[in-house]
Structure 1
Amino acid sequence: MCNVLIVAFNNEKTVVRLLESLEAHRRFIRKVVFVDNGSTDATVEIARGLTIGYELNIIESINTGFAGGYASASAGVLDADLPTLCLNPDVELAEDSVVLLLEALNSRLDLGIATVPLVGQDGTEDSASRRTLPQLGSSALYGILGKIVPRNLRYNNGSADSSKKLATLQDGTAVNQIQATTGALMMIRPSFRPGNAPIFDTDYWMYGEDLQLCLDAATEGYTVGIVEARPSLHLKGASSGWPRSRASHRAFHDALYIYYSKNLRTSALQSYAVHAGVELRFWATLLGGNLVRRLRG
């Protein structure tokens, strides 16, 4: 059994697919806590109107960001000894995902975070499913040069550290080690982060908190694993949009600097240089995003 936590913002187009996909897993679900972060569309009304066979607790809140929304969701968790499945509202779970994730946690006591592959509508695997933890040099190159940087230097390189097998499940499914994954779909061991306490670092508003959690897992002696099962669907950008809104674009760049400050900073001079670089990237890419919007009409 597990608790499921979902944080939504203006997800009326995707919330039905997510909540209905949970129906197939309901015998493994203790409770679903659904936090609405101040949606201005019909997300809450649609969620309330669904006929579902599991317990759904809807909490309406102001927009406190991704990590803040999960902190609000923790108040609705009654059994903190169960694993927590964190799901984005733009995910559609594949069959058997939940039971395989639970089996993976049972197979390895040091497995702190488990996930399954995510794919987009075109069937291409989401590069955020398998990530490396950011390093300053390669991240700076990627931030400046973008996708012309060789794939092996990107933190979202899609295949990092997934060659080490952690376990084999009863049906033969492999569980492989990765450095990091996306907060869109994570099952978390309660001894690492109990569901009735904040899971993600609330210094992050949106973006970066999942990478921080994966780094914290490694620091605390846990591993991150991917269950090589049937992939689930991830409709990226449902909340933040693409190009990103100015607010989410700002949050993304703030997260870059927060992650650096917490984990990679070595000197004050370096910190000033990194901050300046992040700000320069923010303004340059903001102008580029605005141009794309104008061209789209």
Structure 2
Amino acid sequence: MKLSIIIVNYNTYTLTKQTIDSVLEKKLPFEYEIMLVDNASMDDSMTRLQEDYKEIIIQGLLNITLNDANLGFAKANNIGMRKSKGEYLLLLNSDTYVVEECLEKCMAYIEKDKQIGALGCKVILPDGTLDHACKRGFPTPRTSFYYFLKLHKRDKVKYGLYDALHLDENEVGEVDCLMGAFMLMPRYVLDQVGLLDEDFFMYGEDIDLCYRIKEGGYKIMYYPEASIIHYKGGSSKKRRTKVIYDFHNAMWIFYKKHYIKTYSLWINSLVYVGIWTKYALEIGKNAMKSSGNKSVQDTKIQQNESV
């Protein structure tokens, strides 16, 4: 088995089906399998998906795991990877669409260089712009400071480390990290550095894995000659408050794991306060937005009742 594609589903029937179909409709020149892991979806998505793909499930092309609880992105992906058989493993988000020849091009490129520990393609948003998270730098205090002050608008090469702006979006090259929406990795690399860190529930696990892959002496490659479309959202839109917490908590988990011993108590304290102040601001902004939406809905109801 050449390639195992790991997809995690959580209440996203339409998006997940689109992602699977975007793979199945291609005539790939190598043997592959799709490992679909469901995180205890509360809708009927898995009942429908099992019915849609019953023939290829019987054939063994699609393997399904049904978790009893929402275990998070990292743990669910790890379950799929442990059950898989491929020489190469691809983490693929359930809200993506695989563009023509993407998988063939990525496999051909990564197989040429045994020093590549992870490869990511160009990730395009529905409006045609680049999803900047598909190539980025590690979030050190310095790079994060530059990013939040928007200094990259003044000099993208000097200050654009956070989004790896030194590398053009159409240029093949090494970066610090990729996004978990599309990460292609050799199994022998993961055998050496380990799978996703399950301390991360959602967000941050991809950055952490890239960090460990680079520590293991391997390259992280951005390969824009292949691409996917990222519809971004899916299950995360349904739990906005928890998503905000998971994002900021992931930032702190990553910092504690990799940087806290490197920097002074003063810097560590500043980072901690900065992360959780930003969290509080995002929660406040979200609450105001929800309140505004409710006011609009109440107004519409009143208007309808008066008619």
TM-score by length of 1: 0.85
Distance 1:203 1:270, change over 3 A: same
Query: Which residue does the alignment assign to 2:304?
Result: none
Q: Deviations over 1:77-107 (max 9, x none)?
A: 135xx00011000011011111111111111
Deviation at 1:45, TM superposition (A): 2.1
Tell me how far apart the structure 2 counterparts of residues 252 and 174 of structure 1 sit (CA, whole Å). Answer: 29
Query: Which residue does the alignment assign to 2:119?
Result: 114
Query: Which residue does the alignment assign to 1:60?
Result: 66
Runs (5+) with no aligned partner, structure 2:
295-307
Deviation at 1:208, TM superposition (A): 0.9
Query: Which residue does the alignment assign to 2:19?
Result: 18
1:212 aligns with 2:208: yes
Deviation at 1:291, TM superposition (A): 1.3
Deviation at 1:149, TM superposition (A): 4.6
Secondary structure at the counterpart of residue 218 of structure 1: helix
Among residues 188, 196, 219, which one is paired with 1:223 in the alignment?
A: 219
Query: Which residue does the alignment assign to 2:47?
Result: 45
RMSD: 2.5
1:34 aligns with 2:40: no
Tell me how far apart the structure 2 counterparts of residues 253 and 25 of structure 1 sit (CA, whole Å). Answer: 40
Query: Which residue does the alignment assign to 1:3?
Result: 4
Q: Deviations over 1:88-138 (max 9, x none)?
A: 000110111111111111111111111211111111111111111112133
Deviation at 1:240, TM superposition (A): 1.1
Among residues 233, 237, 241, which one is paired with 1:237 in the alignment?
A: 233
Runs (5+) with no aligned partner, structure 1:
164-172
How does 1:1-297 map onto structure 2 within 5 Å? 1-23=2-24, 24-51=26-53, 53=56, 55-61=61-67, 62-79=69-86, 82-140=87-145, 142-143=147-148, 148-151=150-153, 152=156, 153=159, 156-157=162-163, 159-161=165-167, 175-194=172-191, 199-241=195-237, 245-265=240-260, 266-297=263-294
Distance 1:69 1:155, change over 3 A: farther
Tell me how far apart the structure 1 counterparts of residues 151 and 40 of structure 2 sit (CA, whole Å). Answer: 38
Secondary structure at the counterpart of residue 188 of structure 1: strand
TM-score by length of 2: 0.83
Tell me how far apart the structure 1 counterparts of residues 215 and 32 of structure 2 sit (CA, whole Å). Answer: 29
Distance 1:26 1:107, change over 3 A: closer
Deviation at 1:75, TM superposition (A): 3.4
Q: As a proportion of its length, which structure holds more helix?
A: 2
Deviates more, 1:22-31 or 1:59-68: 22-31
The answer to whether the Cα contact below 8 Å between 2:146 and 2:152 also exists between their aligned partners in 1 is no
Deviation at 1:22, TM superposition (A): 0.8
Runs ≥4 residues deviating over 6 A: none
Deviation at 1:239, TM superposition (A): 2.1
Letter in 1 for 2:251: L
Deviation at 1:28, TM superposition (A): 2.8
Deviation at 1:223, TM superposition (A): 0.7
The answer to whether the Cα contact below 8 Å between 2:106 and 2:226 also exists between their aligned partners in 1 is no
Tell me how far apart the structure 2 counterparts of residues 10 and 218 of structure 1 sit (CA, whole Å). Answer: 34
**Structure of greater Rg:** 2
Tell me how far apart the structure 1 counterparts of residues 45 and 161 of structure 2 sit (CA, whole Å). Answer: 33
Deviates more, 1:100-109 or 1:265-274: 265-274
Deviation at 1:209, TM superposition (A): 1.0
Deviates more, 1:25-34 or 1:259-268: 25-34
